[in-house]
A and B are shown apart, each in its own frame.
Chain A
């Protein structure tokens, strides 16, 4: 399984260790299982899949851009329906099975982040950032713990969790703007704007912390950031909605 990243470009790492997600070239094609994925466009990229008969993917229904008439669609019920509804997450995920072609895109300028998952990996993703995942990946969602984290964390009530058991899988996310990734050592901390958080290994702990700053008229607003503690990867997006304070 590959991820489509160009091999003939230098790794782009900032002085503090943030690595840019590899920018997928227009019309880049890569394989997963017996199927292929082609990335089209650079401003609001589209992921076009050519699914083989034994493969399938699941996704949120509103990211489906087009499909062959012959591609069957099904639904994948998720646990905790009421909780998901209250949390603003889709109640039912949609499944597309091969053979046939199907394409996906989200509605914002940004980058596709292709994450091949090896067996035994767990990845937490900001809600509404996931574009598609192959059917070998187990999907669940985790509640963000702590009232302060929910109220001030800016990441909603839940995060999507993707787990691979014995088979590898392919997960594609849509990041708004540019996407940067950093690997934290055990115990290493970084403070991230909650709206900029995109994904993390489940080994990375996340909690909202208050900064010694006040904003707004008479300083009535407190300012919170998400404290990430390693070990593991953290991905951020450079375009985001500022959640935690107002003027």
Chain B
């Protein structure tokens, strides 16, 4: 009986292979864990292969890696059209339409996914220096992923999306709302349906994962959150420093720090590239938020 479990994808795996056949993580390296418990996700080795269904995906390159799929006849994947790098002419491509087109367009999310059916070869890559993260999902497993981090998924993974409900308003009054979504307006939800599936993400920079215990909490930069188990809850937290600097000069100014508080149980992953939210305009209204004034 196989008792080896890959420490990155959490699936029973093969310790004799050079890389995990399910997620591509190197098997023969020591775990790099920070003092606070963050585990560095090792980059998938150049040319590592990952098996799914009767097909496989090979990761090429280390700076802006390419995911090259060899699709068997019965397998399919879907992806956002702008990550398609190349394809064989014989690979069958088609549209996969989705609900909520207007909202998705307003939120800057892709309106239409592309489906690719085997047999054939095609390759996907994103436009940032970073890593490809492979997440095998077991039957019934669901995962929240930050918008625009999705690279591709096998056809049996269901794709949905939901509002993050993390926002704040810095408008002058109710007539001039200026709403900010520090985590993005929507998050992608992926769920394996009738059988296991493979989800590929592109993470700008390096990636770190951590397991939160029941009720354990953590504050992170909102845009650094890459994925989380759906059991992990998230809401906004504001910190106001004791010294407000020149913020007294105008009622429109208020120095603060915007965080997202994650509350376990479950796994969370962060990327090392992020965009801090603006921190000087007074917040008029927000989603559920806790506040700390130093």
Give the interface of A toward B (CB within 8 A). 12, 14-16, 18, 20, 43, 109-111, 176-178, 180, 189-193, 196, 211-217, 219, 223, 225, 227, 236, 238-242, 245, 247
Contacts and interface: CB of A to CB of B under 8 A. Distances in A.
Contacts, number: 119
Contact of B61 (A43, A211, A238, A241): A238
B82 A242 contact: yes
A37 B120 CA distance: 41
B112 A214 contact: yes
B46 A236 contact: no
Highest count of chain A CB atoms <10 Å: which of B49, B62, B110, B111: B111
Nearest to B88: A190
User: For chain B, what secondary structure do more than half of its interface residues adopt (helix, strand, loop), or is it mixed?
Assistant: mixed
Interface stretch (B123-131, B182-190, B258-266): B123-131
A190 B63 contact: no
Given A20-B61, A111-B63, A178-B66, 5 more contacts: A15-B49, A43-B63, A177-B63, A191-B87, A236-B86
B85 to A, nearest CB: 5
A177 B64 contact: yes
Given A213-B94, A214-B95, A242 B114 contact: no
Interface string B94-137: 11000001100100111110100000010101011100000000
A196 B81 contact: no
A174 B81 CA distance: 25
Contact of B47 (A14, A111, A223): A14
Contact of B127 (A18, A190, A192, A242): A242
A216 B247 CA distance: 42
21 contacts: A12-B46, A14-B68, A15-B49, A18-B68, A20-B60, A177-B125, A180-B61, A192-B86, A193-B84, A193-B85, A211-B93, A215-B111, A217-B101, A236-B85, A238-B61, A238-B64, A238-B125, A240-B85, A240-B127, A245-B82, A247-B110
A247 B80 CA distance: 11
Interface in B43-71: 46-47, 49, 56, 58, 60-66, 68, 70
A213 B93 contact: yes
B63 A15 contact: no
Contact of A238 (B47, B65, B84): B65
Interface residues of B, number: 40
Nearest to A226: B86
B89 interface: yes
A240 B111 CA distance: 21
Interface of B: 46-47, 49, 56, 58, 60-66, 68, 70, 81-82, 84-89, 93-95, 101-102, 105, 108-112, 114, 121, 123, 125, 127-129
Given A15-B58, A217-B105, A191 B88 contact: yes
B60 A213 contact: no
Contact of B64 (A14, A16, A176, A245): A176
B68 A109 contact: no
A27 to B, nearest CB: 18
A192 B86 CA distance: 4
Highest count of chain A CB atoms <10 Å: which of B70, B85, B94, B121: B85
A238 B222 CA distance: 28
A191 B63 contact: no
A193 B86 contact: yes
A212 B94 contact: yes
A211 B66 CA distance: 21
Contact of A109 (B56, B63, B87, B112): B63
Contacts of B64: 109, 176-178, 238-239
Contact of B85 (A15, A192, A217): A192
B105 A189 contact: no
Given A15-B58, A180-B60, A211-B93, A239 B86 contact: no
